[in-house]
């Protein structure tokens, strides 16, 4: 279901992109904006692992330095039929973890020292299985494509508003475009819709990773128990120095969004994730 939802949302992003592109002076503006967005996101995708690991001063560890962590990741990677990811530890009291890498052959799993202190061995296995599932299903690639389209839509929406203020909107074929008010309103709605769709795609991938991680670990309650502790742990010790652009990578929102801000969170509601996992356990 979530796979189909992701595909549908990607199609909607593409449709919005084409629609907003037709509102500015011909297709050339859309191509330029899209090309810039592609280049920016390509660089981000290709070097994402190095960038985010450097950002959090993560340290790569060997099997001798973290034998239990290394062994658990190795076992899960073997079950998932992917190469052994690199293992990193982040010195941070906030309990969290993330996966990165452009494909399974370049996978990285990083955990904070905080998460290793508060989780049991089984709960940590549930978290690591979630991250291995992200790597196996190439979620970094999917989210990068979504970011490319959403970023392009935002850029084109800005161009459309600029064109509406300074000369109106028309196509290369001199066909009549919308009036200034319709262009401004539609471009604002398109940019906002693109942001919401990107968030929805991120949430769908989290649900899929929860499901895949539960199956890899062999017990959905491992991850559900971990999520309960992580939710409370982040609320008590949020990762205040985290970069908002990296929030979608983490297994739980490092900022612990509350109230209306939770509507714009890159993660599904923690209560819903736990409920799904517990329902899965009861069906076994």
As given in the structure block, the two tokens for residue 17 are: 């992109």
Mean pLDDT of the chain: 82
pLDDT classification of 3: cutoffs 50, 70, 90: low
What is the reported pLDDT for 41? Answer: 67
Asked about 131 being catalytic, the answer comes back as yes
How far, in Å, CA of 141 to CA of 6, rounded?
13
The pLDDT of residue 115 is above 50: yes
Domains: count for the chain: 1
| Catalytic residue chosen out of the listed positions 91, 131, 206, 272 | 131
Q: Quote the pLDDT of residue 284.
A: 74
Average pLDDT over residues 55-68: 96
Q: Residue 1 above 70 pLDDT?
A: no
Mean pLDDT of 129-148: 84
Q: What is the average pLDDT across 237-263?
A: 76
pLDDT range class, residue 125, cuts 50, 70, 90: very high
126 neighbors 281 (Cβ within 8 angstroms): no
Range of the domain at 155: 2-282
**Looking at residue 122, what is its pLDDT?**
98
What's the chain's Rg over C-alpha atoms? Answer: 21
Average confidence (pLDDT) over 212-241? 95
Token pair belonging to 3: 């796979």
Lowest mean pLDDT among 170-174, 179-183, 260-264: 170-174
The model's pTM: 0.79
Q: Is 80 exceeded by the pLDDT of residue 227?
A: yes
Burial class (CB in 10 A: 0-12, 13-18, 19+), 6: buried
Quote the CA–CA distance of 71 and 67 in Å, as a whole number. 6
Task: Note whether 92 and 114 are within 8 A (CB).
Answer: yes
Residue 264 has pLDDT above 60, yes or no: no
């Amino acid at each position: 279901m979530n796979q189909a939802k992701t595909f549908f949302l990607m199609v909607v992003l593409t449709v919005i992109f084409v629609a907003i592109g037709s509102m500015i002076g011909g297709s050339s503006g859309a191509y330029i904006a899209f090309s810039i967005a592609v280049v920016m996101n390509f660089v981000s995708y290709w070097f994402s692992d190095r960038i985010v690991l450097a950002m959090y001063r993560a340290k790569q560890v060997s099997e001798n330095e973290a034998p239990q962590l290394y062994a658990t990741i190795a076992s899960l990677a073997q079950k998932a039929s992917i190469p052994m990811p690199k293992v990193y530890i982040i010195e941070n009291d906030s309990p969290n973890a993330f996966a990165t890498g452009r494909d399974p052959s370049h996978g990285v799993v990083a955990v904070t020292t905080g998460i290793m202190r508060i989780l049991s061995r089984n709960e940590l296995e549930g978290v690591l299985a979630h991250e291995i599932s992200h790597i196996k299903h190439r979620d970094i690639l999917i989210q990068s494509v979504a970011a490319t389209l959403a970023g392009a839509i935002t850029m084109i929406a800005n161009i459309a508003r600029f064109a509406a203020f300074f000369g109106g909107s028309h196509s290369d074929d001199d066909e009549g475009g919308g009036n200034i008010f319709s262009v401004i309103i539609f471009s604002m709605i398109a940019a906002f819709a693109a942001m919401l769709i990107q968030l929805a795609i991120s949430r769908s991938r989290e649900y899929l990773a929860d499901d895949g991680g539960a199956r890899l670990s062999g017990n959905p309650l491992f991850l559900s128990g971990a999520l309960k502790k992580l939710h409370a742990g982040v609320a008590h010790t949020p990762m205040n120095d985290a970069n908002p652009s990296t929030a979608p990578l983490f297994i739980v929102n490092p900022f612990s969004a509350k109230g209306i801000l939770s509507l714009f969170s890159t993660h599904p509601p923690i209560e819903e994730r736990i409920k799904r996992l517990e329902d899965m356990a009861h069906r076994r």
